[in-house]
């Protein structure tokens, strides 16, 4: 693992690191904020999964999360959204290929050799962090924005016992039923739509739910609202009688101005579960 940068930040350290990942068969870069408490021993961690076109850097610099994580004594990890490198397949569309991994393990060519973001986020990166940094593997929570909100919700509901809480900003809630999902799942996972269901938050909510607190925020002025389909998640949670805090925030859009406006509340929401 290579240290690219480390900066003092709210009493802790904001680092950027690169390592050779076996799951994605390429070098991967991630950001990690460690609060001051990490000097004394392992701290809980909140994973932040970013959205389409993003790298590890977007949320790290725009979400304003470090201040609130420092107050709560929580580490923050900002993984990349896809594999990178000259030999990694790509597409001219912004919502397929590099920057658009959708947190799945691709089974179709040309994506299958590298696009294994599920394995990377669920297994390889957590193992690296707990071995190299003062991270408590028994106290994890997860959040994300847009495509990353989709990833956070699907990982949380598919890995029972892993995360104590899950939240999402503007999540893609029903990719099997919308344009942000069907084309990408066909490319990554093939034509068999039964394979897509494991990566649809609304389907998973109906079938599995989540054994813990759930929070979602979406702006009523989000210009991608028809692609996000938040109503499908609300309906699935209601039918399952799943406890969930589902909020539509008046006038907010899809940007990081929206994310940063509610980041304090999301970090506090996770801190309550992580320190329970």
Q: What is the percentage of the chain residues whose pLDDT exceeds 70?
A: 100
Catalytic residue among 80, 95, 217, 222: 222
Could you tell me if 31 and 61 are in contact, meaning their C-beta atoms sit under 8 angstroms apart?
no
119 is a catalytic site residue: no
pLDDT value, residue 248? 98
200 is a catalytic site residue: no
pLDDT grade, residue 118 (50/70/90)?
A: very high
Could you tell me if 254 and 224 are in contact, meaning their C-beta atoms sit under 8 angstroms apart?
yes
50 is a catalytic site residue: no
pLDDT value, residue 153? 98
pLDDT grade, residue 152 (50/70/90)?
A: very high
> Rounded to whole angstroms, how far apart are CA atoms 119 and 29?
15
Q: Over the stretch 231-272, which tens digit does the pLDDT of each residue have? A: 999 999 999 999 999 999 999 999 999 999 999 999 999 999
Catalytic residue among 146, 165, 167, 202: 146
pLDDT value, residue 230? 98
Instruction: Fill in the DSSP letter of residue 220.
Output: T
Could you tell me if 120 and 79 are in contact, meaning their C-beta atoms sit under 8 angstroms apart?
yes
Backbone CA torsion sign across 146, 91, 57, 86: positive
Q: How far is CA 255 from CA 57, 64, 95, 219, in A?
A: 15, 13, 16, 10
> Rounded to whole angstroms, how far apart are CA atoms 177 and 201?
11
> Rounded to whole angstroms, how far apart are CA atoms 79 and 173?
21
Q: How far is CA 18 from CA 66, 133, 160, 168, 227, in A?
A: 20, 14, 29, 26, 33
> Rounded to whole angstroms, how far apart are CA atoms 92 and 43?
41
> Rounded to whole angstroms, how far apart are CA atoms 205 and 234?
9
Threshold 0.85, pTM exceeds: yes
Catalytic residue among 56, 199, 254, 270: 254
pLDDT grade, residue 99 (50/70/90)?
A: very high
Q: Over the stretch 25-40, which tens digit does the pLDDT of each residue have? A: 999 999 999 999 999 9
pLDDT grade, residue 53 (50/70/90)?
A: very high
pLDDT value, residue 86? 95
State the average pLDDT over residues 188-207. Answer: 97
Average pLDDT, the chain: 97
Q: Quick one: tokens of 21?
A: 């990942």
pLDDT grade, residue 226 (50/70/90)?
A: very high
User: What structural domains does the chain harbor?
Assistant: 2-275 (3.40.50.1820)
Residue 41: exposure state from Cβ atoms within 10 A (0-12, 13-18, ≥19): exposed
């Amino acid at each position: 693992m290579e240290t690219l940068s480390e900066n003092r930040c709210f009493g802790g350290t904001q680092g950027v690191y690169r390592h050779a990942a076996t799951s994605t068969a390429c070098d991967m870069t991630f950001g990690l904020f460690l609060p001051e408490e990490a000097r004394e021993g392992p701290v809980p961690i909140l994973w932040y999964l970013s959205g389409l076109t993003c790298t590890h850097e977007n949320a790290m610099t725009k979400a304003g999360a470090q201040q609130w994580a420092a107050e709560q004594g929580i580490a923050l990890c900002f993984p990349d959204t896809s594999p990178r490198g000259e030999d990694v397949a790509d597409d001219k569309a912004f919502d397929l290929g590099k920057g658009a991994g959708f947190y799945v393990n691709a089974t179709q060519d040309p994506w299958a050799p590298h696009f294994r973001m599920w394995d990377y986020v669920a297994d390889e990166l957590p193992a690296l962090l707990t071995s190299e940094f003062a991270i408590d593997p028994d106290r994890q929570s997860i959040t994300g924005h847009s495509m990353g909100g989709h990833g956070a919700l699907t990982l949380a509901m598919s890995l029972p016992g892993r995360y104590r809480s899950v939240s999402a900003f503007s999540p893609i809630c029903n990719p099997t039923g919308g344009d942000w999902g069907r084309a990408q799942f066909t490319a990554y996972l093939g034509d068999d739509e039964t394979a897509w269901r494991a990566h649809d938050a609304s389907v998973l909510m109906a079938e599995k739910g989540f054994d813990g607190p759930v929070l979602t925020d979406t702006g009523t002025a989000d210009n991608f609202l028809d692609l996000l389909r938040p109503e499908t998640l609300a309906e699935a949670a209601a039918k399952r009688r799943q406890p969930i805090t589902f909020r539509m925030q008046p006038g907010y859009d899809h940007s990081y101005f929206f994310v940063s406006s509610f980041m304090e509340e999301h970090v506090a929401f996770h801190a309550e579960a992580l320190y329970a």
